[in-house]
Copies of this chain bind each other. A is one copy, B any other.
């Protein structure tokens, strides 16, 4: 959940000198920023520094980050002919920096810590590809599901194919598990999610697990979808901050659960951080198959001190 990021002064200092894509694409720099939170907080696991939009960029959609404005695509997906230009082999060659970053990070952290790779879920990537920028409802992408279902299904299938390749490459490079971020999954009804999102996710799980990698799935605002994820062979489910841990545990009794402290709690007074942490730990019960994490990305305004308070509360 943005383990490395702007909440750390060390990260901001490094980013003064290097652009975001430059850090992602240079294994020394990406390892350095990924190691910053490990050195500072001694987390049990490390996650590669990358971005979910590396995939559409490698497919030729031209992704740039306007300062403070989010991503902008120079060539969004609007018609079927665009898909003919998508080439998974060529994209994978461009994306070699991702497994390279995983490999370098594994060298740096050794074998004592878990290492996570990640990618965006096909539906979430589809949202950005179609909209061509951030959005709060991704209206164009959602309409396309019903107005051009063949195009949508083909695009989702192609995105699933390249995402699976990228995740398998990260497993081969040393990742113990991969996390799939379905940031915009929560916009879909269960009917739509089952029809469009789940088949793409299923094919990814099968390929990653065939390569002996574990799969963790995060669906933001996906509480209504949880019962529909049961058929997916994911090893772990990452919960956003609004999902009660106990209801998720009763849905997934045998899988790993990850989450789900509200990252905004880290902007509250220390006593409130401790109280919320204690509540969540209480819900986790015996801690079996439980990974403590935030329930969404840590925000840039977070003081490092708050992370210290959180970790002390967990570890004690």
- Chain A residues proximal to chain B, CB less than 8 Å: 136, 139, 142-143, 146-147, 186-191, 221, 223-224, 241-244, 262, 264-265, 267-269, 272, 276, 279, 299
Contacts and interface: CB of A to CB of B under 8 A. Distances in A.
A189 B224 contact: no
Classify the secondary structure of A's interface with B. helix
A229 to B, nearest CB: 14
Contacts of A242: 186-190, 224
Contact of A267 (B147, B223, B276): B147
A264 B188 CA distance: 11
Q: Which of A146, A186, A299 has the most CB of B within 10 A?
A: A146
Given A186-B242, A221-B186, A242-B188, A136 B139 contact: no
A242 B137 CA distance: 13
Nearest to A260: B189
Contacts of A188: 242
Nearest to A191: B279
Contact of A189 (B136, B139, B190, B262): B262
Contacts of A191: 279
B146 A265 contact: yes
